Amino acid sequence: MNFLAELKRRNVFRAGIAYVLMGWVLLQGADFVLDLIGAPEWVIRALAVVIVVGLPITLFFAWAFEMTPEGLKRDHEVDRSQSITPQTGRKLDRAIIAFLAVALLLVLAERFFLAEPAPVPEQVTEATSEEEAGPPPDTGTSLAVLAFENMSPDPENEFFADGISEEILNVLSGLEDLRVIARTSAFSFKGSGATVAEIAGKLDVSHVLEGSVRRAGNRVRVTAQLIETNGESHLWSETYDRDLDDIFAVQDEIARAITRELQLQLTPEQENLLVAQPTDNLEAYNKYLQGRQLWHSRGPQNLQAAAILLQDAVELDPGFAEAWAALADTWLLIPEYSPTRTLETIPPARDAVNRALELKPGMPQALTTRAYIRFMYDFDWDNAARDFERAIELDPDYPTAQQWYGEYLAVRNRDTDAALAQFRKAAQMDPLAPVMWNVSGWVAAQAGRLEESNRYYERTLEIEPGFLATYANLTLNYIQLGEYEHAREMWVRAAALGEFDTEDGFNLIEAMHDPTARQAYIEGLATNPNWRSGAVDRAFVYMLLGEEERAMADLERGLEVGDPYAAHANRMTIYDPLRDDPRFQAYLAKMNLWPPED
């Protein structure tokens, strides 16, 4: 008997065909299920390898063994007259037919039911307005540095783990050929259990850096791994066991490994940026990281505590430029989150940022802070513009520079469209930061574009449903639109989040549509503790109520006591009835905003 006939007799061909069809069906089903649960791509590849390896094993067993009523036996041990290979062959034929039928059903299902719909031709697609469009998909090299997990026994070391990852993020964001997602968006996945695929989809990045930090006494272990999001392949990973004194070297080594794996070409200036060590004083560095953590948490108490820690840091190391810059940022924000007036906080903020820039003249964060002080409080518009433009040139991925420059353009040039364009750039770097969309809504609203503003606010609440400022802002929008029930609804939500009473907000809403309640509210507004003198506070409410003289007096009072938003009156259309008033022009002139530029 020749070899080919023997292969047929032992059902080797049938077994091979049945196995291949079974493997294909199994892979198709597994691919659907694994994709549904978001499993990494290596799982399906591993299954394919197992199936391929199993084919020669199956063929060997079909040749060497035979299935009998007594079980599996070696072929030479079976009497030919007792062999049931014909029956086994018929069973394999039925299996082949069944697998073919399943395979055909899978092909038809994929072709007609699971296929993605064809794209709608461009000429019939309803275009999204440029003002509301999100950032375009990224096509270059991009990275999200996730918050490193705190593996230390002490949960208080959370600030250290976050600080290490943020410092690596800051270093990498200065590289020209790499788009780095900002901290707010990258850290928003902390503790969420989101997969790399989910993170990549929301942030539109090609790579993710994740890791962990374990600190015990004077020792620290840092583990980091770089993952390519398309396929979730691990490009690089490393574990560093070092003394705390070597933490800056670890950060540098991780940053260099990332640039190497992503094949980024560094300029000499960028090389210097990677090797720069901010301080030799580890205690100062710890206080700096704690202060920055509190700064990111915002709130009046956190900011006051951050100021104390950062002041300690610069006293421990007066040459610590990053700590001076962080201290300036903290003083800058305190009056925006508390009743503290700018006359108390802006002078130390100005001194701190100037010291930071003396130590490091090219620090983008410090340039941005100085630019903000120059336009919001010094009214030095030309130098503010130069600082913003230089900061953005040095670090295009710093979203705060883009955001604050947008506010500058809205105030100085009254150019709402240019401001919104800057906010969209900021949102591209920090797509999950609610503040970027909230400020877009705020600027659009004050330009009289209330419906557009509401859409930005809706986007804010999609990202962060508990963003209190947006509910307060929507309350004012609905008041101006005359939609008082919606205004009440928004104010109830704001009050629940801020844990304050709804009475004053309801009284304002009532005064807006009930003439009998209006005069009483107006008379009590001057001493109402819920409002402060200033362009976006009491003066704004006076304008809502049609009290232009009182509004003008309150604007002047606000400027005297340090209203942090005094300059914003220039861009707010609600003050247009006052623009021909010599008092309003004199008010703007004190801020170098009158006469307007051609």
Helix (H) / strand (E) element for 238: namely: strand 233-243
Better pLDDT: 110 or 382:
382
- Dist CA 142 CA 175 (whole Å): 11
Query: What is the β-pairing status of strands 219-228 and 207-216?
Result: antiparallel
- CA terminus-to-terminus distance, the chain: 102
- Dist CA 430 CA 545 (whole Å): 37
Kindly state the average pLDDT of the residues 203-213: 94
- The upper half-sphere exposure of residue 342, i.e. CA atoms within 13 Å in the direction of its Cβ, equals 21
Structure tokens at 426: 């900021």
Give the pLDDT score at 118: 35
Better pLDDT: 298 or 278:
278
Task: Write phi, then psi, for 594 (nearest 5 degrees).
Answer: -140, 135
pLDDT at residue 291 greater than cutoff 90: yes
Mean pLDDT computed over every residue of the chain: 86
**Topology of the domain covering 142-277:** Rossmann fold (3.40.50)
Task: Write phi, then psi, for 191 (nearest 5 degrees).
Answer: 75, 5
Q: Could you report the per-residue pLDDT of 547-568, keeping only the tens digit for each?
A: 999 999 999 999 999 898 999 9
**Domain locations along the chain:** 3-112, 142-277
Kindly state the average pLDDT of the residues 252-264: 88
Report how far apart, in Å, the C-alpha atoms of 328 and of each of 23, 310, 324, 479 are: 64, 9, 6, 37
Give the pLDDT score at 39: 53
- Dist CA 164 CA 149 (whole Å): 10
Q: Could you report the per-residue pLDDT of 35-53, keeping only the tens digit for each?
A: 545 455 566 677 777 888 8
- Dist CA 189 CA 148 (whole Å): 11
Q: Do 475 and 490 form a contact (C-beta atoms < 8 A)? A: yes
In Å, how far from its chain's centre is CA 586? 42
pLDDT at residue 125 greater than cutoff 90: no
pLDDT at residue 480 greater than cutoff 70: yes
- Dist CA 71 CA 123 (whole Å): 68
The DSSP output letter for 590 is T
Residue 110 pLDDT grade (very low, low, confident, very high; cuts 50, 70, 90): low
Kindly state the average pLDDT of the residues 331-359: 91
Buried b (16+ CB within 10 A) or exposed e, 170-183: bbbbbbeebbbbbb
Q: What percent of the chain lies above the pLDDT cut of 90? A: 59
Q: Do 250 and 277 form a contact (C-beta atoms < 8 A)? A: no
Sign of CA dihedral 16, 18, 21, 26: negative
- Dist CA 55 CA 482 (whole Å): 74
Kindly state the average pLDDT of the residues 65-91: 66
Task: Choose the weakest-confidence range: 44-53, 127-136, 511-520, 563-572.
Answer: 127-136
Q: Which residue has the tokens 């009523």?
A: 69
Task: Write phi, then psi, for 221 (nearest 5 degrees).
Answer: -120, 125
Give the pLDDT score at 81: 60
pLDDT at residue 404 greater than cutoff 70: yes
Query: What is the β-pairing status of strands 65-68 and 219-228?
Result: unpaired
Better pLDDT: 457 or 73:
457
Report how far apart, in Å, the C-alpha atoms of 71 and of each of 9, 65, 68, 79 are: 19, 10, 5, 14
Kindly state the average pLDDT of the residues 155-183: 88
Task: Choose the weakest-confidence range: 76-80, 122-126, 587-591.
Answer: 122-126
- Dist CA 225 CA 234 (whole Å): 7
Q: What percent of the chain lies above the pLDDT cut of 70? A: 85
Better pLDDT: 540 or 244:
540
Better pLDDT: 47 or 495:
495
* Degrees to nearest 5, angle at CA 70 with 66 and 76: 35
Better pLDDT: 99 or 357:
357
pLDDT at residue 336 greater than cutoff 70: yes
In Å, how far from its chain's centre is CA 70? 65
Q: Could you report the per-residue pLDDT of 440-479, keeping only the tens digit for each?
A: 999 999 999 999 999 999 999 999 999 999 999 999 999 9
Kindly state the average pLDDT of the residues 537-556: 98
Give the pLDDT score at 126: 35
- Dist CA 428 CA 566 (whole Å): 29
Give the pLDDT score at 40: 55
Quick check: helix, strand or coil at residue 142? strand
Give the pLDDT score at 106: 66
Helix (H) / strand (E) element for 288: namely: helix 282-297
Quick check: helix, strand or coil at residue 233? strand
CA nearest neighbour of 558 among 526, 534, 527: 534
